[in-house]
Amino acid sequence: MERKPTKVSIIGAGAVGSAAAFSIATQRLASEIAIIDVNREKAEGEAMDISHGLITMGSMDIHCGTYEDIADSDLTIVTAGVGRKPGETRLDLAAKNIAIARDVVANLKKYYKDGAVMVVSNPVDVITYVIQKESGLPRGRVFGTGTVLDSARFRYLLSVKTDADIRNIHGFTAGEHGESQFAVWSSVHVSGMGLDSFCEKRGIVLDKEEIMRETVSSGAQVIKRKGVTNYAIAAIAAELTGTVLKNRGSIFSVTSVLDDYYGIGDVAISVPSFLDATGVRAYLPYDFTEEELERLRNSAAQIRAFMDHLRL
C-alpha cells in the first residue's frame, strides 16, 4: 500500500525552527515542510537553503508557508518566541511569548482541521497550557517537548561520568522544564542493570545532586557560550516528529495539560506519556517512589503558582 504523504508546518524560522526543519529534512521524515514566520523573507531563505541540499536527502517540498498550511498538516510545530534578555525576569519572558502564542492560537482556530501540535517555545510548560486551553482542541492534541531534552542531557552526563555508551543508558527527568524538574533515579539503568549496582561493580562514585545541577544548567551554559541552544532541541523535535508521523505510540516525558495524574491537574508538566499521531494518547502511571511523587507534585505546584502570577 502506498504511503500517505506527510506534511509538517513549523511556526517560527529562528535558530530553533530552522534547525528543526533541517533535522526533519535530513531524516526524511516528511514529504512536505512549510516554514512560517512573520519575517517571510527569512522563512524563504531558510527553505531555500535546506532545499539546496535535497540532492543528499531525497525528494521533498520545503517552502515558505502561511498559516493556511496548518489546515492539511499532520503536525504543527510551534517554535515562535523570543529569548530572555539580560536583566529580564522569567515572568517578563513568559508575558511576551504568551502574546505570541495567542496569535498562534488565533490562526489555529482559523485553519486547523487535524493533526497534533507540538510546542517548543519557552517557557514550554506555560505556552503548552495556553495553546491547549485557548485553542479548544481535544485534550492531549497539544503537547510540548518538555523534559525530553533535559532527559537527553541527563543521559549524556551519565554516559560521560560512567564511561558507558549513551545508547545503553536509560532514564528520564520529569516535572517542569526548568528549575523544579527532577531526575527519576528509580528509572535509571545501564543495559538493564540498576545504576547503583552498575556503579558499585565498576567502582564508580556518582554525585547525583551534581549531575542534576549540571542537567538543569546545561542550557544556560550553552547560551553563555554561543547565545542560543538550537541543535539538540532540533534533534529532539525531529525524534518526536518521527514518532507522531509514524504513529508509534512511544513513551516520552513530554509536557501536556494533566487531568488527575496522581492528583495533579490543570497544569502542564512532563510525565511519561504515550505519543502517537493524535498527540498524547495516554499517560503512563509510572511507579514513582514516594519521594519522586512529592517532587512531581512540588514541581506542578510551582508551575501553577507561576501561572497564577500570569493570571492563567
Q: What is the pLDDT of residues 139-150, one digit of tens each?
A: 999 999 999 999
Name the residue with cell 523535535: 237
Cα–Cα nearest to 101, from 214, 233, 12, 192: 12
Q: What is the pLDDT of residues 220-234, one digit of tens each?
A: 899 989 989 999 999
CATH class belonging to 148-309:
alpha beta
Q: What is the pLDDT of residue 22?
A: 98
Average pLDDT, the chain: 95
Q: What is the pLDDT of residue 86?
A: 62
Does residue 85 carry a pLDDT above 90?
Answer: no
What's CA 27's distance to the chain center, in Å? 18
Does residue 87 carry a pLDDT above 70?
Answer: no
Domain residue spans of the chain: 7-144, 148-309
Q: What is the pLDDT of residues 29-46, one digit of tens each?
A: 999 999 999 999 999 999
Q: What is the pLDDT of residue 89?
A: 66
Query: CB neighbours of 110 closer than 8 A, spacing ≥ 6?
Result: 67
pLDDT range class, residue 1, cuts 50, 70, 90: very low
Q: Which residues are catalytic?
A: 177
CA distance 73 to 108: 11
Q: Which segment of 93-97, 112-116, 304-308 scores lowest on mean pLDDT?
A: 93-97
Q: What is the pLDDT of residues 246-283, one digit of tens each?
A: 999 999 999 999 999 999 999 999 999 999 999 999 99
Percentage of the chain lying above the pLDDT 90 cut: 92
> Hey, what CATH topology would domain 7-144 get?
Rossmann fold (3.40.50)
Q: What is the pLDDT of residue 93?
A: 83
Does residue 286 carry a pLDDT above 50?
Answer: yes
